[in-house]
Structure 1
Amino acid sequence: MRRLLPVVLLLAFLLFLYWAFPLVGPLLRYGLPDPRGLDRPLTLLVYGVSPEYSGYHQRAPERFRGLADTILLVRLDPRASRVVVLSVPRDVGVDLPGYGWHKINAANPLGGPELLKRAVAQVVGVEAERYVAVSLEALYAFVDALGGVRVCVEKPLQYQDKAAGLSIDLEPGCQVLGGKEAEGFLRFRHDALGDIGRIQRQQAFFQALKEKALSPAGLPHLPRALAQAEAHVRTDLSREEVGRVLGFALRRPELVSLLLPGHFGNGWVVDRGALAELRARYFEGQALPEEVSLRGRSVALVYGPSSRERAHEVAERLRALGLRVWERPLLVDPPRTEVLENGPGLLARALGEALGVPHRVSGEALLGADLTLRLGP
């Protein structure tokens, strides 16, 4: 048995080298994760760059100067062990210095990441310290290398753009999406909710992506996925900062995803009062009152075909708690039962505890309701 131990250890070491080998290139550029992690909060502007085209159906070489059609203000907070992701809709109007009034996604082609950082700071009231730009190719590479991501498509998503070579054809149901299908799921915005519906699908996808990447099925593929996506990313983070960010990520902090609060108008009109509350809690670390009342609040009850009878019973229980209930049936069952809130999270926690179900802060919550309760199968 003692003779076998060195052989087993050697095989384990060789397997580890095989697993980690794809990361050799990125590690040489950025170094190993720093086990100390972050020693203070760090705010990043993370944005996805739309492809540029040099002709009909012909993508131009990647310059990272296309429209910023996915804009995220990310707060890495080691004190709270939390990652806060605030999605900023592309249609928010902003006065760009030197260029006048534009949709915020035009800041990147006009002035690059620095102008986009200034535009986001003007809208949100929080200035990003660093930026990370991601091209569409990173999505293909990461998702395909990971073996696809399972998401639930709530309704038919169909759209054709022949000039751009974009074809979206997804049927309702829970399914594993490869890189090309994931692009369609993340870029579709041709319905009543437009870009807001797209942001909500993006937040659902990122949650599913996180779960897949850290699952037993995803971990073996993670180094190759990261290595292949890294070539399609640009950042001004220093080598030391990358190491500290990776060290912080390895601690598996809580993920909070938010939609910039507002309503439809001339583009997306920001709700300044609700934004101030989110900014105080998640970006400025201010404590908020812990006691809240559910009475008089509204909740959207979302359920699929297998939960219709149960939904009526749950609706009565919600009304008994003093809530106003909106029922919203779907073509497919939500993947899990949970309470969602696009806000400080105190209401979601209160309802989750009252019902004995998980709760989460997420911009996936339905517009117009204080809370969303999803009924899983």
Structure 2
Amino acid sequence: MKRFIVMVLMVLCCLGFVMPQVSAEESVNGDTMSVLLLGTDTGAEGRTDHGRSDVIMVATVNPGTGRVTLTSIPRDTYVDIPGYGMDKINHAYAFGGAELTMEAVNQLLDIQLDHYIVVNMAGIQEIVDTIGGIEVTPPVSFSIGGYDFTEGQTTTLDGNMALQYARERYTSGGDYARQERQRDILVAIYEEVTSMGVADVLRLGRVGMALNDNLEMSVSLTDFIDIATSIGGSIKTVETYQLYGTGEMIDGVYYDIPDEASLAEVTNTIHQELN
């Protein structure tokens, strides 16, 4: 239970926390839960506009199977955005925030998401600096933002390096590789935090303080802890999935057209976890 609560708290801290109002009583009954995770670029490089969602994931939590699943959706995925027509799925956040993005994802995957969490990219930089850095092993070599990353060479990242590492999308694999690196960052943060002992309690406290500007909560911390506590003891594994597609130019704009087989696979996986 402790490890799951820490994992969820760290993900929320990294991303910033926005959820629709829900009481603890509605979520502590051990039922499955689905959450839309959105990573926005509004906090990066001094931006203050509404921004678009650069990270789009669907998380399911199933106490019955003991699994958490994370499914990445490419930001350029060509979907029907309610009220706006066919467009890139990440435009939904610019048009109508997390709620409209949730509608688009619900329609794409034929589900009804329970909650959403909005990610502020600035939060990643702050938390990595606060915990003293993280380690990653790049699968390919590349350079970005003045930093060089070497294939197979374990590298310690500070906050800015982690942010740059998560943004790179021009290596082989493109946006799919970028989404994998983003998941690697979250796993590295999780591993660092869960390795902390009692002596690190104050450092964990500073994590929350450092991310205060990035956190927006629409449920109380007490309710959230109740929810996490109710399901945490049963979670044993975290599995990751990816929606794949094919790049296509439509009217001079690049889109990622979902592969039917891949869409069916991730949809079935999510449905199985929720049912």
Q: Which has the higher helix share?
A: 2
Whether the 8 Å CA contact 1:130–1:235 is kept in 2: the answer is no
SS in 2 for 1:285: helix
SS in 2 for 1:95: strand
Unmatched 5+ stretches in structure 2: 1-12, 14-23, 249-254
Q: CA deviation at 1:248?
A: 5.0
Whether the 8 Å CA contact 1:46–1:74 is kept in 2: the answer is yes
The reply to whether residue 275 of structure 1 matches residue 258 of structure 2 is no
Number of residue pairs aligned between Structure 1 and Structure 2: 242
* Alignment partners' CA distance in 2, 1:156 and 1:175: 12
Q: CA deviation at 1:249?
A: 6.9
Task: Rate the CA distance shift 1:87–1:125 in 2: closer, same or farther, 3 A.
Answer: same
The match for 2:103 is 118
The reply to whether residue 102 of structure 1 matches residue 87 of structure 2 is yes
1:140 partner letter: Q
Q: CA deviation at 1:101?
A: 2.1
The reply to whether residue 45 of structure 1 matches residue 36 of structure 2 is yes
Pick which of 179-188 and 73-82 moved more. Answer: 73-82
Pick one of 206, 216, 220 that aligns with 1:224: 206
SS in 1 for 2:64: coil
2:132 partner letter: G
The match for 2:245 is 263
Q: CA deviation at 1:219?
A: 8.0
Task: Rate the CA distance shift 1:106–1:278 in 2: closer, same or farther, 3 A.
Answer: closer
The match for 1:76 is 61
Q: CA deviation at 1:187?
A: 0.5
Pick one of 164, 186, 191 that aligns with 2:166: 186
* Alignment partners' CA distance in 1, 2:97 and 2:224: 21
Q: CA deviation at 1:239?
A: 5.0
* Alignment partners' CA distance in 2, 1:154 and 1:233: 32
State the Cα deviation string for residues 187-219 of structure 1 (Å, max 9, x = none): 111234221110111122222222221114798
Whether the 8 Å CA contact 1:38–1:78 is kept in 2: the answer is no
The match for 2:115 is 130
Unmatched 5+ stretches in structure 1: 1-22, 24-32, 160-166, 288-377
Pick one of 132, 142, 149 that aligns with 1:171: 149
2:205 partner letter: P
2:85 partner letter: G
The reply to whether residue 212 of structure 1 matches residue 192 of structure 2 is yes
Q: CA deviation at 1:143?
A: 1.1
The match for 1:308 is none
- TM-score, length-scaled by structure 1: 0.57
Q: CA deviation at 1:49?
A: 0.7
The match for 1:144 is 129
Aligned-residue Cα RMSD (Å) equals 3.1
* Alignment partners' CA distance in 2, 1:171 and 1:69: 22
Structure (1 or 2) with the larger CA radius of gyration = 1
SS in 2 for 1:115: helix
Task: Rate the CA distance shift 1:84–1:248 in 2: closer, same or farther, 3 A.
Answer: farther
Pick one of 170, 177, 200 that aligns with 1:197: 177
Percent identical pairs in the alignment equals 24
Task: Rate the CA distance shift 1:168–1:120 in 2: closer, same or farther, 3 A.
Answer: farther
The match for 2:8 is none
- TM-score, length-scaled by structure 2: 0.76
* Alignment partners' CA distance in 2, 1:281 and 1:273: 12
* Alignment partners' CA distance in 2, 1:239 and 1:154: 38
Whether the 8 Å CA contact 1:131–1:236 is kept in 2: the answer is no
